[in-house]
Structure 1
């Protein structure tokens, strides 16, 4: 996966004459000191990061931290005062007007928080707007727009007007309009912040579903850490125009760079970011089908457990044998496990989120099985491991504990 966007030493001073502030930045003065001495605002302070092709890169911070300014520098809606923005190896800060226009039309698209729909145009007419500006033929632009409207779940609404749509539907139109240009890069500025919580979550899911199909490079601005954790491959934390930390969701929650990041992370429900790979144990002991109930009972005694997973020679999971089942087979003189109806246990891939298995493990008498693509057993998940993984998350651990005690 190559680098799609590279930001180098990016600085934005809100002034037509930023030289004095740039000199003070080079001398090590901070944002507040420069404002006091010059009256100029530092929007971005020496920013450096990369965005990989096909990833969702989330930029987050408090209001006024500079995250939206960064986004607008990526397409030069805001002109940087210094530094470089390199897209596909080309520094866009050096592009002339016509080259920049072509870049925006063909490689970049933006989705705004406030929808930015034209009220006198239908859904279809709003969706084709960018293609219309480019001079694409009417039949071709409408064909592409209808395909995008179907992708975002608005098939059949193409002749409606914006005032006939809900907030979530309006945002879907904005997303379809951006996708109609088939851009390499999507810039999304607080795109879901104006939506009700339930609609917002639906749009987050919709974005993830679309990303699986399209594999775009997405830069997403938010002030909501839960949203960042849900959709972001990596997250950049911004404070006062400066970059504090870049990392995966697990790195941000597990190893915050400072108190600023830690305050965001405090109280976050880790079950929404932890996968089964993070909480599973090594599957030991394990039996093979050729073994008999006496071997099962011996393994249970030696390991202080009441059940054992059973695999074939290729380690494909066949099921589980419990102490009761093994004892019954022993009393029936059954010599191997081929002749026993093994317990069928829930099986999950290692990428499944912990939150998605909590209701299942709460009701299950046995550990859950973690399997690979070929259904080979690679791990087991027990209730205690789930609780241990969530132990440093505060309030939600109590809620999970209560859930896991439903049948305990």
Structure 2
């Protein structure tokens, strides 16, 4: 069974990505003289996918960057892992831009983490990267350069690169925004299956997407921004897009966004 999972691009969660709870508390950040958020709190439950929605410019991406260590918050902000250890080195981050290196092939971009760590990928890593590229619809494109890809295809390479990292905390900023509707649905399923068991925070503007693959959904609103109470869809992700219960929750989520 394990061999089948490896060939499909999914596999059991390895020990080094054991479930990791993360908490943000008393978060404060000012940008351009404007307080984006103050005394903001968000808890990411271990091994579950948390989706963050809200209007553009409210601070969702900034909060993601704070968690990734790419934005410096102000005191008394605290970002803590449940095991008490630093988060540095245990995060996979997928930005809104694909950030592919134009001189590397599709396969080498998917394996970029190995290159940055000055580690030559072994046969198992290469096999897994090829399998993931196939799962995101890029079979046979491994040797192509990013310039030959569409925007949606580039985003798929970035998704494969993120999934290759095998980190306990995965941060994703609108990972499916450049994709057509059908590809988007398929890759939501791929991400949900491949990231099972990891702690994930995903920013999205799509309520139905959040309901399909999120375990806990929060709406971020206001100035300074606050994070609203969690909405928890029933069942296991990825959920059916035509599930009546999901469609009913979509109305509630839209109400919270409008409020």
Q: In the alignment, which residue of structure 2 is the partner of 1:398?
A: none
Pick from 206, 210, 214: which aligns with 1:232?
214
1:354/1:63 CA distance change after superposition, 3 Å: closer
1:352/1:59 CA distance change after superposition, 3 Å: closer
Q: SS of the residue aligned with 2:122?
A: helix
Q: In the alignment, which residue of structure 2 is the partner of 1:44?
A: 37
Pick from 205, 224, 242: which aligns with 1:355?
242
Q: In the alignment, which residue of structure 2 is the partner of 1:89?
A: 83
Pick from 107, 111, 116: which aligns with 1:133?
116
Question: In the alignment, is the contact (CA less than 8 A) between 1:235 and 1:249 conserved in 2?
Answer: yes
Q: Which aligned pairs between 1:271-350 and structure 2 lie closer than 5 A?
A: none
Q: In the alignment, which residue of structure 1 is the partner of 2:179?
A: 195
TM-score (norm 2): 0.76
Deviation readout 1:9-40 (Å, 9 max, x if unpaired): 1111226xxxxxxxxxxxxxxxxxxxxxxxx1
Rounded Cα–Cα distance in structure 2 between residues aligned with 1:353 and 1:150: 23
Rounded Cα–Cα distance in structure 1 between residues aligned with 2:56 and 2:142: 35
Rounded Cα–Cα distance in structure 1 between residues aligned with 2:135 and 2:183: 17
Q: SS of the residue aligned with 1:43?
A: strand
Q: SS of the residue aligned with 1:159?
A: coil
Question: In the alignment, is the contact (CA less than 8 A) between 1:236 and 1:243 conserved in 2?
Answer: no
Alpha-carbon RMSD across the aligned residues, in angstroms, is 3.2
Deviation readout 1:125-167 (Å, 9 max, x if unpaired): 1112111110112435535533443454434321112233343
Rounded Cα–Cα distance in structure 2 between residues aligned with 1:42 and 1:198: 39
Pick from 126, 140, 145: which aligns with 2:129?
145
1:147/1:199 CA distance change after superposition, 3 Å: closer
Rounded Cα–Cα distance in structure 1 between residues aligned with 2:137 and 2:240: 25
For the pair 1:216 / 2:198, whether they are aligned, the reply is yes
Q: In the alignment, which residue of structure 1 is the partner of 2:91?
A: 108
1:354/1:81 CA distance change after superposition, 3 Å: closer
Question: In the alignment, is the contact (CA less than 8 A) between 1:11 and 1:43 conserved in 2?
Answer: yes
Rounded Cα–Cα distance in structure 2 between residues aligned with 1:189 and 1:352: 21
Q: SS of the residue aligned with 1:175?
A: helix
Q: Note the residue ranges of structure 2 that are not aligned, 5 or more in a row.
A: 1-17, 253-259
For the pair 1:57 / 2:40, whether they are aligned, the reply is no
1:203/1:145 CA distance change after superposition, 3 Å: closer
Deviation at 1:172, TM superposition (A): 2.0
1:144/1:11 CA distance change after superposition, 3 Å: same
Q: In the alignment, which residue of structure 2 is the partner of 1:70?
A: 63
Larger radius of gyration between Structure 1 and Structure 2:
1
Pick from 29, 44, 54: which aligns with 1:12?
29
1:241/1:70 CA distance change after superposition, 3 Å: farther
Question: In the alignment, is the contact (CA less than 8 A) between 1:190 and 1:222 conserved in 2?
Answer: yes
Rounded Cα–Cα distance in structure 1 between residues aligned with 2:241 and 2:155: 30
Rounded Cα–Cα distance in structure 1 between residues aligned with 2:68 and 2:44: 14
Question: In the alignment, is the contact (CA less than 8 A) between 1:55 and 1:218 conserved in 2?
Answer: yes
Rounded Cα–Cα distance in structure 2 between residues aligned with 1:51 and 1:234: 9
Q: Which aligned pairs between 1:15-30 and structure 2 lie closer than 5 A?
A: none
Rounded Cα–Cα distance in structure 2 between residues aligned with 1:46 and 1:130: 34
Q: SS of the residue aligned with 1:132?
A: helix
Q: In the alignment, which residue of structure 1 is the partner of 2:107?
A: 124
Q: In the alignment, which residue of structure 1 is the partner of 2:144?
A: 160
Q: Which aligned pairs between 1:383-394 and structure 2 lie closer than 5 A?
A: none
Q: SS of the residue aligned with 2:101?
A: coil
